[in-house]
């Protein structure tokens, strides 16, 4: 990995995280992927097991990773329920993976990150609210508050922090039985969001021309927010 820009990507085993890892590798980055499921993406890729539901374990794993030029937190999952049927354990679990893991990773990784680095958090269009998804929306909204705060703290070092918020994306998460109560709606453009499109925007924000963009939330939803 010597000489290449180094990115840490969570949730690299499938979906948006995998698409971003593949995009960065194609752009010449070295990538350290964190996930529960073992993943191999070829030259320049290193996989480490990480239980992202346990922020303390995530922090211990992060200590063993070489300094990174970019951190991408893409791991996530969704549980749905209407008010009156909410499960506190579902909220705690999603908060740990979406917010706790991001906080634990950044706390270990960013102090060792070179000036001019990048932090990218994968949020969700749902963060502004969607029936049956109040707990999921709350955890994704928390990422925006956390990300904008970090953007202010890290601006003196030239480190950018942004959020990418996809709408319904063509990933295995859509088939998760835990979200069966709220099946995805096809966006206005007539198709689900392509994870490679999300990865392309991520690649731009993480690349040299993303240096003037920080504290922003980019919604890529195929018109679902219209």
Give, as one character, the DSSP assignment of residue 130.
Answer: -
CB atoms within 10 A of CB 98: 28
Query: Of 47, 11, 46, which Cα lies nearest the Cα of 30?
Result: 46
Q: Per the residue annotation, which of 136, 160, 169, 171 is the catalytic one?
A: 136
**What are 141-144's contacts with CB under 8 Å, separation 24+?**
142/95, 142/98, 142/99, 143/98, 143/99, 143/102, 144/217
- 218 annotated active-site: no
The pair of structure tokens assigned to 200 is: 């392309």
CB 167 within 8 Å of CB 193: yes
Residues whose CB falls within 8 Å of the CB of residue 92, separated by 6 or more in sequence, listed in order: none
Cα 69 from Cα 112, distance rounded (Å): 9
- Residues annotated as part of the active site: 136
């Amino acid at each position: 990995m010597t000489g290449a820009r180094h990115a840490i990507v969570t949730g690299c085993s499938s979906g948006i995280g995998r698409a971003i890892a593949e995009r960065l590798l194609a752009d010449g980055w070295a990538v350290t992927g964190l996930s529960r499921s073992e993943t191999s993406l070829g030259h320049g890729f290193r996989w480490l097991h990480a239980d992202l539901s346990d922020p303390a374990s995530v922090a211990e794993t992060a200590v063993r990773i070489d300094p990174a030029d970019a951190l991408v937190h893409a791991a996530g999952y969704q549980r749905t329920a209407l008010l009156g049927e909410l499960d506190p354990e579902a909220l705690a679990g999603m908060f740990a993976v979406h917010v706790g893991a991001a906080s634990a990773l950044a706390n270990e990784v960013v102090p060792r990150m070179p000036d001019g680095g990048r932090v990218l958090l994968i949020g969700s269009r749902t963060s502004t609210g969607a029936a049956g998804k109040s707990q999921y929306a709350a955890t994704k909204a928390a990422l925006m508050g956390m990300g904008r705060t970090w953007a202010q703290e890290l601006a003196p070092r030239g480190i950018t922090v942004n959020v990418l918020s996809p709408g319904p994306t063509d990933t295995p998460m859509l088939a998760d039985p835990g979200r069966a109560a709220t099946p995805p709606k096809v966006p206005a453009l007539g198709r689900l969001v392509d994870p490679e499109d999300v990865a392309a925007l991520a690649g731009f924000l993480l690349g040299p021309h993303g240096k003037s963009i920080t504290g922003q939330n980019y919604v890529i939803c195929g018109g679902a927010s219209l």
